[in-house]
Chains A and B, each alone.
Chain A
Amino acid sequence: MEQIMNETMSKYFNPETTASIKVMEGTHAASQAVKLARVKVISAYPITPQTSIVEKLSELCASGEIDAEFIKVESEHSAMASVVGAESAGVRSFTATSSQGLALMHEILHWAAGARLPIVMVNVNRALAPAWNIWVEQTDSLAQRDTGWIQFYCESNQEVLDMVLQAYRLAEQVMLPVMINLDAFFLSHTSEPVALPKQELVDQFLPPYNPKYKMELEGGHAFGGLAMPDSYMELRYKMQKSMEEAERLIPIVAEEYDHIIGRHHGTFLENYRVADADYLLMTSGTISGTSRIVVDSYREKGIKLGMIKVRTFRPFPTKAIREAVKNAKKVGVIDRNISFGQSGIFFSEAKAALYNAEHRPLMNGYVAGLGGRDVTPETISEIVDHLIASEKGQDLIWIGVKK
């Protein structure tokens, strides 16, 4: 293994901590992470492009490679309800979905968070119907903004695997559920080399889940009962406090993971050539990889362009963004999503985050690549040129719409 790994690879794929390196799809990276996390209950309903996650997991369960209960259900609503049940009984659980499936889960997403159940779910970002479209768009997960779920966005298959493991560690400390998002097809069905960390190291990183309160036959408690107006608000307050706690812990968990497994994907943001940049692109998901190339090409031309890749949407990295843009003149946010009647969603969140900041750069909101349309280096260059030329901030600029 050492021989085939060049220096940069071995930095990423630390041979000391790696059991094996396999070429696999993003979906299978998620499945492998579930295995490594020693999940005990899996329940999911298949939906393209999430299906191969579930297929792999059911195979692994059937072959006994995963010692978990696989609950077959008739809908995503039931899938989420099943893992809510399992987690209530104190058992580490997993589910995965996409698009309409996530939308159908909406009601139980609130329950999962309100019941303080550290469920981890992988969502493959896919456009919502109609019109039917199975390709990448982030509107599905961003629409779940207010459910109380922590949300991460990934850029590589390795990141998917690593983040599922980190998600359990984080969730089980703050008692909030975590959604790991990856782009349909660009990640879900694209094969990349993925390092599978050694099981004993994962076990070291992720201790067995043992919640303080769980449903038990002996000495039972009633869970999720009625809270009168005099106590409900406190419970909501605690959810917010836990989100703030998550903000504190995300860098710590990332560091622990790096320490034990030897890989770090950044915390809230990944800042690329940001320090001296005049112009900044703000991206998330796979558009970030393309943007990095564009940043480099502008830098070669002497234009000080940088890029902020947003990794967490909830808790929203307000502080990190303020810090990152403090020297920039102009920021262009690229959204592969839209909130109708407003703008791209990352844009409106980022703009809101900067309103009370000391330094407020000019901000443009670009909506591009909806429903899986390609966002090429040319598309991004068009955005950068527009940003540089802008004299006033603009909330919604459509890129590539055929008129």
Chain B
Amino acid sequence: MSDIMDLKNDQTLMAISTGDMSWNKTGSWRYMRPLYENKIPPCTVGCPAHEKIPQYFALVKEKKYKEAWETILPDNPMPGVTGRVCYHPCENVCNRGEYDETIAIHNMERFVADQNLDNHIPEYLVSKEKREEKVAIIGSGPAGLSAAYQLVRQGFKVTVFESANEAGGMLRIGIPSYRLPREILDKEIDDIKRLGVEIRAGITIGKDLPLSNLQKNFDAVLIAVGAYKSWGMQIPGEELKGIRSGLDYLKQYNLQEQATTGKNVVVVGGGNTAIDTARSALRMGAEKVTIVYRRSRAEMPAVPEEIEDAKKEGVQFVFLANPIAFHGNGSVQEVELIKMELGEPDKSGRRRPNPVKGSEYRIEADQVLLAIGEVPDLEFTEGQFKLLHDRLNLDNGQMTSQKGIFACGDAANGPIGTVVDAIATGHRAATAIGQYLRNGKVALNGKMESGVPFDTINLDYFVNEPRPKEQQHHPETLKENFEEVNLGITIEDALNEANRCFSCGTCTYCDNCLIFCPDVAIHLDPVKHEYIIDYDYCKGCGVCVHECPRNAMAFEEELKWNK
């Protein structure tokens, strides 16, 4: 080895400092400051319940399924339900969709829930502090259950009144079991009950007990009665036998396990109720089921996957047609349709259907099920509340026009029509009630801001990979077969999916910032388990910010900090 190098005699071959450079606090050069800062991903914003999606994915990666489940629970006590039936608005905004295919978030949610069928909501999620105030909730649909759960977590005493004999609302009455097996529903409701929520089934408020009674005996009341009154069509022949609301039909089947079903069934409507009604009718023995919808396929509000499944099962579709009369001799025999064409977009942004003069024609039917929309049945309120579009009008704090009476879910204005909206508004109502009971005032947080944008993801760190395909089971003969159709994804797919997620704005401890920092100014705090930036030495080059694959680093002008 060469001995020419000799620091002491100033004989080194190249410029080498005699000591280390720790005296040189390069932090003073900085005019931009990196900040280790987790941000909200778009999926969390898109999920009305604001589930911490990348956070529980991180636990799935480590196969910590129980911890993953417990990460979902504070926002949603029923992931087994939503993982199956939620229309997953989270996925519509998933950043990965701009790269290849969106993350199969609802499949992941179901996967996590299904790994925890033997576990119960842990006690630590419930506040130790117990409160004396009592809250009455009318309705045990997802809105009422979610609110009950959140209120019990805050330490309140909660009683839920439910007119049906079992809790669950539309989850039990409306949604067919081939989409939501009752064991799953029962399990998740039972988990909520275990925390001390009292459910008094078989009591209809307004009939068995007046609302005023609740007002007297409880410190707050929450109305979560959903929307049960079906709209009629107001056309000739509607009174004929064999014509009824699709929801009634489903309800009858779901609660009594039987409902009269024709051979040749026409379902009117384009939403999910229509699809569920049609698919259920096939299972109940109908030989032919036709959905009649006044707009085209593109305008159908039902989720595409379910339209597909309905087609697979043999449901027929007649688009751009609307019933104008029903004909028959006591019982319905024919439906008279008029052809429609699409005009200018209406308020909903969908093109308005207009009848085509002289295009009337008839189709045969021995049963017609109407699924054209529902509104809440608010008779029990005796007209004491302000309404908007037939629903309870609320202030910013989920309170109705009556002090101390709150509302949520499909019964009230606000985001409606889905299970997760009901869970989310139930949560908000519970927070509002908690604030109201503690200090008489309600101040809820505003809307969640939009999540980390796609263009801040460093795509160099990701490769294209397909989204997993959910396994399905389509039985040979549908008759009497209410087995679950969607079977979820495999463990391998779930693990892969957890890795495919960009984890937008959410640190995964990939160490990139630490590795890339040219000043070795980033350390991992082993106790707090977070990265610490040593601002004595960080000179603000921004490499860590750039090399963070997922925008869990922010970059701000130093001036802002020096003020």
Which A residues contact B (CB, under 8 angstroms)?
Answer: 114-116, 172-175, 210-213, 219-227, 231, 235, 238-239, 242
Contact = CB atoms under 8 A, between A and B. Distances in A.
Contacts of A239: 13
Given A212-B3, A225-B17, 4 more contacts: A212-B1, A221-B19, A223-B14, A225-B16
B12 interface: yes
A238 B17 contact: no
User: Which of A114, A213, A226, A242 has the most CB atoms of chain B within a 10 A radius of its CB?
Assistant: A213
Interface string B232-272: 00000000000000000000000000000000000000000
A240 to B, nearest CB: 12
A167 B17 CA distance: 29
Contacts of B20: 219-222
B464 interface: no
Contacts of B18: 221
B1 A115 contact: no
Contact of A223 (B1, B4, B15, B22): B15
Contacts, number: 59
Given A220-B21, A222-B21, A211 B1 contact: yes
Contacts of B13: 116, 175, 235, 238-239, 242
B356 interface: no
Contacts of A231: 15
A212 B15 contact: no
B487 interface: no
Contacts of A227: 15
Nearest to A74: B460
Contacts of B14: 114-116, 223-224, 235
Interface residues of B, number: 17
A375 B22 CA distance: 60
B7 interface: yes
18 contacts: A116-B5, A116-B14, A172-B1, A172-B2, A174-B2, A210-B1, A211-B1, A211-B5, A212-B1, A213-B5, A213-B7, A213-B16, A221-B20, A223-B15, A231-B15, A235-B14, A239-B13, A242-B4
A224 B13 CA distance: 10
Chain A interface secondary structure, helix, strand, loop or mixed? loop
B12 A213 contact: yes
Contact of A222 (B2, B5, B7, B17): B17
A175 B5 contact: yes
A114 B19 CA distance: 21
A219 B18 CA distance: 10
A175 B2 contact: yes
Nearest to A117: B14
B15 A225 contact: yes
A221 B1 contact: no
A385 to B, nearest CB: 49
Contact of B15 (A173, A211, A219, A224): A224
A213 B3 CA distance: 11
A143 B174 CA distance: 80
B276 to A, nearest CB: 53
A53 B22 CA distance: 42
A173 B2 contact: yes
User: Which of B2, B7, B17, B20 has the most CB atoms of chain A within a 10 A radius of its CB?
Assistant: B2
A117 B95 CA distance: 45
A258 to B, nearest CB: 22
Nearest to A176: B13
A222 B3 CA distance: 20
B7 to A, nearest CB: 7
A242 B11 CA distance: 13
A174 B4 CA distance: 9
